[in-house]
Structure formats: C-alpha cells, structure tokens
C-alpha cells in the first residue's frame, strides 16, 4: 500500500478502467472521467474492431484476479483461417498446441471492466468533458463547452488514459522539448457483421481468426460469444479497389462477389451495413515524454496509439499498467521516480510494437496468401520445436511471451535475415524438414551470435 492520494484518471476505456482498479487496490481514492455516457447504458457498435487479448493482457488482468471473469466472454482462436481468392481455405496455427489469442468485443469487455472497477470502489463521472489540465498542480478543467464556463477539480495526480486524441497530452504537447508525431494510413476500415445461425452457432469455424487476404485490401472476421462474427474490411480510401470506388449497391455487391465470393452467404446485411457504418481512419501516434514530474502521466493509446494489425493496442496498454505497478512496488511513494522509470521502460517497447503493427498489415494482407510464406512458417515451427532454446518465432515472442517488444523487433529482424538465406537453399521445398536445413540454420544462428 502506498500513502493514499486522490487520483484522477481521464478516460473510462479499457486501460483507464483497469488502471483505476490497480490504483484503488494500492490504497488511493480514484475518480474516472469520460466525455461519453456510461457504456453500460448505450449501444456500442458500428466502428469497432474486435480485440485479440493475448499473454500480456491476461497477465495484467490475472494479477488483480479479473482474468476468469473475462475468460467467460472471450473466444480462443488458435489459428488463422485464410480464405484464398480461389475459395480454398488454409489454416495456419499461431503457436504451439493450445496457444491461442482471445477474441473479445470491445463494448462487451469495456462494460465488464467498468462494473468491475465500480465494485472495487472506483468512482466514475460520465458525460464529463475535460478540456485542460494544469500540469504543475494536477488540476482538471471540465465544462460543457471548450469556450464556456469551466470547473476546477484538484487532484494529487492525473493519469491520461484518454486515447489517441488525449486532452491531457494536448496540454503536454504545448511544452518545449515535447516530441510528437501522428501519421495516418491511406488505408481505412469499416465494420461489417456475420450474424449467428438460428441455433446460435457460428457460421464459420469458431476458433479461427478469419482473413481474406487480397494484397492492398483485406477482410477479417473475429468470433463473438453470441455466435456472430465482427468483420472488418480494410482498404485504401482512394484509388482502385477503395472505399471511394464502392459508391453504390451494385458496385459493392459486384466487388464482394469478385473478391470475397465465400462471404456471400454469411454477410446478409452487407449493403445496409456498408453504407450505414462509418469509414474510420488508422493512426500511429508517438510522443515523449509521457509524464510530468510526479503529477501527470499518460498511458495506453494516449501516449502510443498504434494500427491494429498485430492486435496489440490493448495488450500494450495493459502491459503499461503491469510495468507501472512494478515500479510502484519498487519505489514506494517516490512517484517522480515511479513515473520516470515507467516511461523509460515503456517508450522503446511502445515504439517497437508500433513498428511491428505497421509491418503486420503486409503480413496479413499479402504474405498470408503466399506459398513461400507458409513454407517459412512451417520451417520456423519445425525448427523451434526441435530447438526451443534457439528459436522463438517472432509472432510467439510478441503474443505468447512477456519478452520486451523491442527485443522481439530486433530478434525478429535477425530471424528474417536467416530465413531469407534458408529459403535460397537448393530444394528447400522438399528438404525443409531435413537435417541439411537444420544444420544450415544452426550454422547461421552461430554466425549471427558471433557478429552481434
């Protein structure tokens, strides 16, 4: 237990709610503010991508005993189901036997998290807009409108868990020496839906992450507990095969019939959903520093918003909480050190998962449709099972381990260089699981160690 403080958390999203629970358990008074209505009272849909909870996320939940509650509303996915353009279907397992990522609807998880936090004694203030913060005094300014009357709320500390467009960060951004970048992709996304069968079962394999990889665009589908799938179409805003080009019912239906024929029977409301749901954009946001003295700290998307292609936005945010909590253990009531060590530890890893996530669009949308890629994955899996001490595949290191993201990025790059060499071996297609290949990889690994 720390000396009790009065702490405000901006943002009642996933990271804000879980952080509030951690802070409450550490002995603090915790107030959570959100500009939106209580998510438990509103319909939440139309612009979300399902979440893929993996090891890092589970650890943060299990640490405070919430994992089992969440497991009840999560569906394990142990593989990619790759729907090829010729209508054939390939499966590609994510990890070793039983290793899965878990599909969760954002709305469902967020409702549960808010209720859990409330049960702990966290106080929520919904429909309360924070417009500004005084960094020196941890004072929040709230009000109906940006230019109207504001109220002052005084705290000992403020956490900004208010997402990619954080108001807390907005104030920090105006300081000298604050580094900041936001970069939008030319690719956007739109939510679609595969409803459940009449008997409540799933129309596609339940325990798969479904991908229709088509190069510059792709469709994905992730299962929900009610038997439906949340689908997401990723494609460029402009140009050939773009959101702009799908202007009317006829063009849209022809496009889906040509590129996603296997979806025709399972997405009944394609036209209605497509034109009703918004087209959302994707941004990578980086900044530094994340904290101001012992008063204010950013966490989650507010300091490292990433694109969703590795499914690690929430996992990285939850891992922020794990690390922050470790620093609280280590440094007691010395909040200046806690916050400073927290940001130093997290920044390189946030940058690394941003890079990995950006790259993974190509893996999902292009590589998964490529036979060479499948061979690489097979070789990696085979070799890593024989030499688990020598080779942990990149995906596993990111998703099924707690090793730092920055390490995953660096080792992943070296593994890729080695696999590039391996793929040049004569007859690799036939000899992929032969001693000659094994010896070659071992030799390359040894050289690699020598030069690093």
| Residues at the contact surface with its own copies, assessed by CB under 8 A | 147, 176-184, 281
Q: Which residue lies nearer to its own copies by CB, 167 or 376? A: 167
CB of 310 to its own copies, least distance (A): 21
CB of 173 to its own copies, least distance (A): 8
CB of 430 to its own copies, least distance (A): 36
Quick one: how far is CA 131 from the chain centroid?
Answer: 27
- Cβ-based neighbours of 421, under 8 Å, separated by 6 or more: 440, 444
The owner of tokens 């590609």 is 92
CB of 401 to its own copies, least distance (A): 31
Q: Which residue lies nearer to its own copies by CB, 131 or 383? A: 131
CB of 179 to its own copies, least distance (A): 5
Q: Which residue lies nearer to its own copies by CB, 35 or 259? A: 35
Structure tokens, 217 = 């665009």
CB of 283 to its own copies, least distance (A): 9
Q: Which residue lies nearer to its own copies by CB, 180 or 275? A: 180
Q: Which residue lies nearer to its own copies by CB, 162 or 319? A: 162
The owner of tokens 């000899």 is 431
Q: Are 331 and 26 in contact (CB under 8 A)?
A: no
Q: Which residue lies nearer to its own copies by CB, 183 or 449? A: 183
359-364's contacts with Cβ under 8 Å and 24+ in sequence apart are: 359/309, 360/309, 360/310, 361/185, 361/187, 361/234, 361/307, 361/309, 363/309, 364/211, 364/213, 364/218, 364/220, 364/309
Q: Is the C-alpha dihedral spanning 441, 442, 447, 452 positive or negative?
A: positive
CB of 85 to its own copies, least distance (A): 30
Q: Which residue lies nearer to its own copies by CB, 174 or 424? A: 174
3-class secondary-structure state, position 336: helix
> Using CA atoms, how far apart are residues 168 and 432, in angstroms rounded to an integer?
53
Q: Are 152 and 138 in contact (CB under 8 A)?
A: no
């Amino acid at each position: 237990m720390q000396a009790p403080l009065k702490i405000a958390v901006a943002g009642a999203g996933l990271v804000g709610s879980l952080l509030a629970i951690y802070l409450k358990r550490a002995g603090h008074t915790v107030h959570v503010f959100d500009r939106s209505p209580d998510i438990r009272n509103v319909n939440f849909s139309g612009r979300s991508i399902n979440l893929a909870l993996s090891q890092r996320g589970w650890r943060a939940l299990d640490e405070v005993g919430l994992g089992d509650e969440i497991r009840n509303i999560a569906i394990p996915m142990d593989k990619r189901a790759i729907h090829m353009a010729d209508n054939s279907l390939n499966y590609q397992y994510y990890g070793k036997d039983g290793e899965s990522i878990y599909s969760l609807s954002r709305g469902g998880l967020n409702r549960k998290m808010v209720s859990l936090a409330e049960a702990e004694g966290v106080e929520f203030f919904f429909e309360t807009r924070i417009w500004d913060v005084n960094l020196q005094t941890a004072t929040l300014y709230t009000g109906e409108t940006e230019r109207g009357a504001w109220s002052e709320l005084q705290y000992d500390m403020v956490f900004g868990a208010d997402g990619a467009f954080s108001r807390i960060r907005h104030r920090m951004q105006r300081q000298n020496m604050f580094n900041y970048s936001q970069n939008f992709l030319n690719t956007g996304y739109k939510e679609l839906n595969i409803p459940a069968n009449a008997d409540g079962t799933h129309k596609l394999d339940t325990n798969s992450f479904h991908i229709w990889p088509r190069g510059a665009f792709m469709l994905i589908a992730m299962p929900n507990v009610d038997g439906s799938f949340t689908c997401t179409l990723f494609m460029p805003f402009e140009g050939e095969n773009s959101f702009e080009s799908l202007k009317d019912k006829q063009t849209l239906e022809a496009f889906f019939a040509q590129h996603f024929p296997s979806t025709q029977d399972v997405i009944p409301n394609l036209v209605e959903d497509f034109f009703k749901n918004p087209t959302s954009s994707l941004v990578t946001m980086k900044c530094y520093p994340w904290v101001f003295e012992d008063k204010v700290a950013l966490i989650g998307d507010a300091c490292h918003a990433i694109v969703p292609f590795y499914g690690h936005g929430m996992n990285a945010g939850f891992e922020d909480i794990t690390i922050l909590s470790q620093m609280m253990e280590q440094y007691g009531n010395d909040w200046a050190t806690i916050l400073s060590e927290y940001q130093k530890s997290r920044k390189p890893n946030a940058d690394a998962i941003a890079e990995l996530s950006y790259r993974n669009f190509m893996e999902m949308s292009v590589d998964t449709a490529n036979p060479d890629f499948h061979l690489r994955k097979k070789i990696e899996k085979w070799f890593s099972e024989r030499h688990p001490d020598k080779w942990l595949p990149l995906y596993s290191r990111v998703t099924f381990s707690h090793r730092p993201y920055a390490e995953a990025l660096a080792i992943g790059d070296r593994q890729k260089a080695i696999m590039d060499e391996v793929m040049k071996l004569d007859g690799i297609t036939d000899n992929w699981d032969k001693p000659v290949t094994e010896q070659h990889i071992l030799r390359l690994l040894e050289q690699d160690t020598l030069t690093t």
